[in-house]
Amino acid sequence: MITEARPLSQPNDDTRANGMIVTVTGPVASDKAGVTDAHNHLWVAAVDGMGPGLPQLTDQSGILDELVDYRKAGGRTQVDCQPGGCGRDGQKLLELSRASGVHVVACTGFHLERYYPPDHWLWGADIDKARVHFVREIAEGMEETRPLAQPVRAGFIKIACQPTVAASPAILIEAAAGASLETGALTGVHTEKGADAETIVALLQRHGIAASRLVIFHMDKRPDFGLHRDLAQQGILLEYDTFYRPKYRPEQNVWPLLESMVAAGLDRQVAIGTDMADRALWSRLGGGPGLVGLVTRIVPRLQEIGCTPATIKRLVGENITTRLVRAASHSNTSF
């Protein structure tokens, strides 16, 4: 039991000053975002030239049904972590959000190279070309949505690291850090089961990214409480998402870890996601807990282990949505 660079002009909707997050349908006040899944994948299209076995989520009616279920259960927002070039479709995210009433925050940036065609331009880009691309997706609209009358803007930047920083794409990491500084957008970092998280954080801080502008994904796959406590005490947000995955032994790992973080007073430094890129985890696509499980399974379990309503509100919404608000201190871009 718990005891407790170059600015791009945009319409002046001033998301920073007004505490707004950028969703695919437009700015939303962070305090209205409600229950939020901090890490998910709502649409993953097939990628030309890639072999079988990669994640795909393209059953629009099934995805929409689950989003409606999520909304009816009390869920309000989903953070989509699929960047461009590896299956993202901003127009589909827009359609799904409008039809379901669920807010969706999309991302720019990059995933692991294995999810892209071998000739994708991003992997041969220099720092400036990649940085400008990321900034444009935040300030003007994601590339595939620019033909729309109102292009859909990305709400944060995702980067993906290999098991070691040394093996990760240094050029793209620096470009993403530059884009974050230029726009004030939050940086989310994919880790390989939490590997080398300390080095990743140190590298991004050397590039000028403040701890308060970082969320590190999949950290519960490395359930080292001492490490999590140290990172959290620096002000970094840690995302946990193995609640539905037996192979990561959630009863022995993520749940005790989460209890320890809350008992240590670090409940402001953890965000809960479900990371459902695998269709087997979806209730209507594969018989799993589904999007609604965040509300119907995880929230009740948080109550059972003694989390207060304020702590639950932070873990399943407030912690991630407040950080998705643009940081004015590093940004020259008017939103």
Q: Tens digit of pLDDT for each residue in 313-334?
A: 999 999 999 999 998 544 444 4
Residues 83 and 286: their CA atoms lie apart, in Å, by 24
For residues 245-267, average pLDDT = 98
- pLDDT of 59 over the 60 cut: yes
Least confident window among 48-62, 63-77, 150-164: 48-62
Res 53: pLDDT: 80
Structure tokens at 6: 């170059």
Share of the chain above pLDDT 90, in %: 90
| Whether the Cβ atoms of residue 113 and residue 119 lie closer than 8 Å to each other | no
Res 327: pLDDT: 83
Select from 73, 3, 85, 86 the least CA-distant residue to 37.
73
Res 1: pLDDT: 52
Res 34: pLDDT: 98
Backbone angles phi, psi at 271, to 5 degrees: -125, 140
Res 17: pLDDT: 54
- pLDDT of 11 over the 60 cut: no
- The dotted CATH code for 20-330 is 3.20.20.140
Res 328: pLDDT: 59
pLDDT digits 0-9 by tens, 94-119 = 999 999 999 999 999 999 999 999 89
Res 8: pLDDT: 31
Res 335: pLDDT: 44
> What secondary structure letter does DSSP report for 316?
I
Select from 284, 262, 221, 243 the least CA-distant residue to 2.
262
| Whether the Cβ atoms of residue 241 and residue 218 lie closer than 8 Å to each other | yes
For residues 142-166, average pLDDT = 97
Banded pLDDT at 2 (limits 50, 70, 90): low
